[in-house]
Amino acid sequence: MTPVRSAIVATGQSDHGRRFDASMGELAREAIDRCLGSRGLTFDDIDAVVAGNMEMFEGIYLVDQYLVGALGALGKPLYKMNTGGTVGASTALACYHLVASGRHKRVLGVGFQKQTEGSAQSAITTVGDPVWERAVMAGAIGNFATMASTYIAESGVTPEQAAKVAVKARRNACLNPHAHLKLPNITVEEVLESEMLAYPIHRLDFCPSSDGACAIVMAAESIAADHAEHPAWVHAVATSHDQQYMGDSPKRLAVMRSLQAATKKAYKLAGVTDPRHDFDVAELYEPASYAELAWYENVGFCPMGDGGKLIDEGATLIDGDIPVNPSGGVLSTNPVGATAMIRVAEAADQVMGEAGEHQIPGVRRALATGYGGNAWSDVMILSRELPATPEVSA
Amino acid sequence: MSTQQAAAFNRDQAIRIEQQITLQYRFAAGRHATRFFTALRDEGKILATRDAEGNVMVPPRPVCGLSGLPMTEWVEVGPDGVLAGCTIVYVPFIDPMTGVQRPVPYGFGLVRFTGADTSIYHLLDATEPEQIGVGKRVEAVFKPREERTGSLADIKHFRMVD
């Protein structure tokens, strides 16, 4: 069977932050209403819904049942995803597969999380293997700190270079009406002087804990142009896993095997040979400043070990030659069930030319990634051009 | 009938409902972990599994994820090793095993046992934090035999080897 060419034709985001004013359903609905409303779509136009969320943050197990009304899913197929940090991207990938299979024409994907409703670090502990890892876990921060130490030893990247990423994110966030953490006057010195959470991660090197939701509509080729002037065509989707335990990958972060494998597959499908040149913008899933530098290397924007050099050159700034996370990224906004979908939606907005104040001029092709769990990677490549071949899935 | 607009909602007066949910679990460690923890508790030994290609993995497991081959051979590794990654944690964190905050600062890292190809997370003795670093040699400090229960916590922590 030949897959159906598919495109993202609409996106919507809630206002992210500490949203004590909204229930989970109201927050999801805020993103959905903005998404559908931007194209004059209604729930009648939607054939199926995919919902992404990590249950342990709010302690609500059957969110698909609890939110069936908010998600507009009454009488429709509603699929629930939870793949950890990648869930938002996995949800977008699932939307793609449902449309590409020919089963549905328009699929609504929604990622949402209310991290302020529980204990985020305790919830993250439940990600760890109960027999081998929980007894000695230190939440996402200790995990990232350990990975960053390996990356520093491997690449020689400096705290100043990491701090530049932290500064870039919070300044870019000021251009994004949805972002949570906006710090227009933040400096490298301020990052380096912020509280040490776990060496080498300062408070300002790490993502906030946010409430937020994001929605997309994935549409089939036959109708995509009815909804968007410039649909964001899916040119590649890829997912890759590593082994199961935290210590299984020898140099996790520095050498992210799953991200290398997923981008390799996706680049082949999309005909990307020189990533820094072939992409006009990237939205990478960077929960910590050091992670973004490592991802530069692992997605091939620079040689291995040169991530620090890339930020020193200013290449990934909003006016650089390969802007990374003009939205402000995960470092500015992290409602985890939505976070990876925000990467996809922001990439789609850039391709559609609808990113507002943080729009990069003339975007033709964009890269979005999701990171989660132990060392799992999702990749989606979006383009303004209709893909030459419908075979875009790995 | 009167109608109220959403704009009239006062965010500062939003109601939040507090709940506490306590869930208790009892996990079957399984055959591989049971053999590992029994040897750790009774003999102070660290066991790993090996496949036909020579991949040696801790935690022990039935199948090697890299080769896809069964890991049928058991070998002893450690109890010394190298730090593949490490940190000093300063932020207060609730210990999921006790429900109370673990005293900070404490050391935390990935230990690759001598003879193994993978690492495990564990606590590090942080009395001399400047001695902790990637690539440094460490060794397991076991709890006294009578305090061991058959879990990874039977290793108190890892200490730096000069």
Q: Do B93 and A244 touch (CB under 8 A)?
A: no
pLDDT for position B136:
96
A24 in B contact zone (CB under 8 Å): no
Residue B120 forms part of a structural domain: yes
Containing domain of residue B84, as a range? 27-160
CA nearest neighbour of A332 among A286, A372, A299, A296: A286
Residue B115 burial class via C-beta count within 10 angstroms: exposed 0-12, middle 13-18, buried 19 and up = middle
Residue B18 forms part of a structural domain: no
Q: How many domains does chain B have?
A: 1
Residue B6 forms part of a structural domain: no
Q: Tell me: the pLDDT tens digits for B127-145?
A: 888 899 999 999 999 999 9
Is A150 within 8 Å of A252 (Cβ atoms)? yes
Classify residue B85 by its DSSP letter.
E
Residue B19 forms part of a structural domain: no
pLDDT for position B162:
74
Q: Do B153 and A137 touch (CB under 8 A)?
A: no
Q: Which residue has the higher pLDDT, B102 or B90?
A: B90
Residue B10 forms part of a structural domain: no
CA nearest neighbour of A293 among A277, A313, A272, A309: A309
Number of neighbours of residue A327 by Cβ within 10 angstroms: 28
Kindly list the residues from chain B whose CB atom is less than 8 angstroms away from the CB atom of residue A209: none
Enter the tokens of residue A312. Answer: 């020193």
Q: Which residue has the higher pLDDT, B100 or B123?
A: B123
The three-class DSSP label of residue B37 is helix
Is A333 within 8 Å of A14 (Cβ atoms)? no
User: What is d(CA A352, CA A281) in angstroms, rounded to the nearest whole number?
Assistant: 12
Sign of CA dihedral A42, A48, A52, A56: positive
pLDDT for position B7:
62
Residue B2 forms part of a structural domain: no
pLDDT in tens, chain A (394 residues): 799 999 999 999 999 999 999 999 999 999 999 999 999 999 999 999 999 999 999 999 899 999 999 999 999 999 999 999 999 999 999 999 999 999 999 999 999 999 999 887 778 888 888 889 887 776 778 888 999 999 999 999 999 999 999 999 999 999 999 999 999 999 999 999 999 999 999 999 999 999 999 999 999 999 999 999 999 999 999 999 998 898 998 888 899 999 999 999 999 999 999 999 999 999 999 999 999 999 999 999 999 999 999 999 999 999 999 999 999 999 999 999 999 999 999 999 999 999 999 999 999 999 999 998 778 999 999 999 999 988 888 7
Q: Do A149 and B86 touch (CB under 8 A)?
A: yes
pLDDT for position B10:
84
The angle that helices A289-298 and A139-155 make with each other, rounded to 10 degrees, is 50
For the sheet containing A48-52, what is the strand order? A78-81, A48-52, A106-114, A211-220, A6-13, A232-240, A376-383, A365-372, A281-283
A152 in B contact zone (CB under 8 Å): yes
Domains of chain A and CATH, by start:
6-119+209-225 (3.40.47.10)
Q: Which residue of A has its CA nearest to B18?
A: A117
User: What is d(CA A127, CA A140) in angstroms, rounded to the nearest whole number?
Assistant: 10
Kindly list the residues from chain A whose CB atom is less than 8 angstroms away from the CB atom of residue B152: 131-132, 135-136
A125, A198, A244 member nearest B91 (Cβ): A198
Q: Do A130 and B65 touch (CB under 8 A)?
A: no
Residue B93 forms part of a structural domain: yes
Tokens 């069930």 locate to: A337
Residue B21 forms part of a structural domain: no
pLDDT for position A267:
98
pLDDT for position A133:
86
Q: What angle do CA A371, A374, A380 make, to 5 degrees?
A: 25
What ipTM describes this predicted complex? 0.91
Is A351 within 8 Å of A364 (Cβ atoms)? yes
Minimal CA separation from A283 to chain B, in Å: 27
B96, B109, B121 member nearest A122 (Cβ): B96
User: What is d(CA A127, CA B25) in angstroms, rounded to the nearest whole number?
Assistant: 15
Q: Tell me: the pLDDT tens digits for B96-116?
A: 667 777 788 999 999 999 999
Is A282 within 8 Å of A299 (Cβ atoms)? yes
Q: The whole model's pTM is what?
A: 0.96
Q: Among residues of chain B, what percentage have pLDDT more than 70?
A: 94
